[in-house]
C-alpha cells in the first residue's frame, strides 16, 4: 500500500512522537517503521505486546541481514513486532554507527515498504541531513511529511532542507512534500500562515498540510502508558485528524476512509 515518510530538519520538533500517535490512530492497517539513521527510540519508549521490552535485534537489523540476498515486500513482516495495544512496528537501528554500513538498504527497503501487502507504512525517518542516504527511500514515498515548530530558526532550516531535498529527489515523479506545524492549537492560524508565507516566498515545492498539537502532557503519556486520558488528549485528537487527511491523500480513491477514520488500529485505552 502507501509509504508515508515523516521527517524533520534540525530541532527535534516531535517526529517520533507524531509517528507513534499517527500509527496508533491510522484508519487502515499500518506498519510503523523506524528508519531514523541516528538510531531508534521505540525500544526505550513503549512496551511490546504482553508487557515486556521490544527486542532490539528483531527489526531493521535482522531485515538488513537477510535483505543482502534480495528483498521481497512480504519479507518485511518477518521482522516486525507488535506493541502493547496492537500496533505493528519495525524496530530501527540501535546505534547511528550501524547506518553507515547500510546505505545500500534504503532503496530496496523503500520499494518493499511502498509495495507492502496489506498495510500502509508510516516511516519515522528522523532528521534529514544533507545528502542523506535515506533519499533513496524517500523516492519511493507516496508523500513526504516534514515536521517543524513555528520558530524562525526551525522554519529557516526546514526551508533550506526542502530546497536541497527537492533537488536531490528531482523532477516530476518526486513525491509531494507536505509540512506539518507543531504548535499550540490556539496558535495554529498564525503559525501556519507564517510558515506558509516563508515557504511560498521561497517558491519551494511544498505545501503546509496543517497543524499538530503541541501537548506536553499527551507527549509524555505516549512514552509508556496508554490510557483513557491519552486517548482523549489534544495530541491524539490532532493525530486522528492528521492521519485521516494523510491516509486519504495516500489512497485518494478508496471512498470509505472517512467512515473508518478514528478507529484506532494501535494502542487502545486499557
Ligand atoms: N506534540 C508535542 N507536544 C509536546 N511535546 C512534544 C510533542 N512532540 C514531542 N514532544 C516532546 O519533545 C521531545 C522530542 O520529541 P521526539 O523524540 O518525538 O522528537 P523527534 O523530532 O523525533 O526528535 P529526534 O530528532 O531526536 O528523533 C520529547 O521530550 C517529547 O516528549
Ligand atoms: Mg525521533
pLDDT of residue 264: 32
Enumerate the domain spans of the chain: 3-250
Could you tell me which residues come within 8 angstroms of residue 264 by beta carbon, excluding any fewer than 6 positions away?
A: 24, 25, 231
Q: Which three cell numbers stand for residue 103?
A: 546505505
Does the structure show a pLDDT above 50 at 70? yes
| pLDDT tens-place string over residues 19-30 | 999 999 999 999
The residue contributing the CA closest to ligand 1 atom 2 is 214
Determine the pLDDT at residue 193.
Answer: 96
34 Cα: distance to centroid of ligand 2 (angstroms): 9
Better-predicted residue by pLDDT, 171 or 175: 175
Pick the CATH number of 3-250 from 3.40.50.300, 3.20.20.70, 3.30.200.20, 3.30.70.2190: 3.40.50.300
To test ligand 1's pocket by mutation, which of 25, 93, 219 has the most ligand atoms within 8 angstroms of CB?
219
Whether 16 is in the pocket of ligand 1, judged by its Cβ within 6 Å, is: yes
Which residue has cell 489534544?
234
Q: What is the pLDDT of residue 225?
A: 62
- What local confidence, expressed as pLDDT, does residue 253 receive? 55
Q: Parallel, antiparallel, or unpaired for β 3-8 and 88-90?
A: unpaired
Mean pLDDT, rounded, for 224-236: 80
12 CB near ligand 1 (under 6 Å): yes
Q: In which residue are the cell numbers 494523510 written? A: 246
Model confidence over 116-130: pLDDT tens digits? 999 999 999 999 988
Write the pLDDT tens digit of every residue in 202-224: 999 999 999 999 999 999 988 86
So what's the pLDDT on residue 226? Answer: 62
Instruction: Please report, to the nearest 10 degrees, the dihedral formed by the alpha carbons of residues 263, 265, 266, 269 taken in order.
Output: 40
Q: Name the range with the highest mean pLDDT among 105-119, 228-242, 251-265.
A: 105-119
Q: How far is the CA of 268 from the centre of ligand 1 (A)?
A: 21
The ligand placed nearest to the CA atom of residue 10 is 1
Amino acid at each position: 500500500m502507501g509509504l508515508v515518510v515523516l521527517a524533520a530538519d534540525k530541532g527535534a520538533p516531535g517526529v517520533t512522537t507524531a509517528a507513534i500517535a499517527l500509527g496508533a490512530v491510522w484508519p487502515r492497517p499500518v506498519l510503523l517503521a523506524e528508519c531514523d539513521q541516528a538510531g531508534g527510540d521505540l525500544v526505550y519508549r513503549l512496551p511490546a505486546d504482553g508487557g515486556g521490552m521490544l527486542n532490539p535485534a528483531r527489526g531493521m537489523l535482522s531485515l538488513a541481514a537477510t535483505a543482502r540476498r534480495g528483498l521481497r515486500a512480504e519479507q518485511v513482516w518477518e521482522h516486525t513486532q507488535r506493541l502493547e495495544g496492537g500496533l505493528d512496528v519495525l524496530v530501527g537501528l540501535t546505534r547511528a554507527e550501524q547506518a553507515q554500513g547500510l546505505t545500500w538498504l534504503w532503496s530496496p527497503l523503500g520499494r518493499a515498504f511502498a509495495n507492502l501487502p496489506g498495510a500502509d507504512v508510516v516511516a519515522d525517518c528522523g532528521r534529514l541531513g544533507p545528502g542523506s542516504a535515506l533519499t533513496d527511500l524517500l523516492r519511493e514515498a507516496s508523500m513526504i511529511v516534514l515536521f517543524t515548530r513555528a520558530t524562525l530558526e526551525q522554519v529557516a532550516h526546514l526551508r533550506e532542507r526542502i530546497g536541497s531535498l527537492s533537488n536531490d529527489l528531482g523532477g516530476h515523479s518526486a513525491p509531494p512534500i507536505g509540512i506539518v506545524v507543531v504548535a499550540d492549537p490556539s496558535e495554529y492560524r498564525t503559525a501556519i500562515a507564517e510558515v506558509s508565507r516563508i515557504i511560498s516566498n521561497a517558491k519551494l515545492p511544498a505545501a503546509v498540510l496543517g497543524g499538530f498539537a503541541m501537548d506536553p502532557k499527551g507527549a509524555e503519556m505516549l512514552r509508556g502508558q496508554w490510557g483513557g486520558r491519552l486517548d482523549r488528549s489534544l495530541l491524539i485528537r490532532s493525530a486522528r485528524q492528521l492521519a485521516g487527511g494523510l491516509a486519504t491523500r495516500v489512497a485518494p480513491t478508496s471512498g470509505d476512509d472517512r467512515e473508518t477514520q478514528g478507529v484506532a488500529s494501535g494502542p487502545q485505552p486499557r
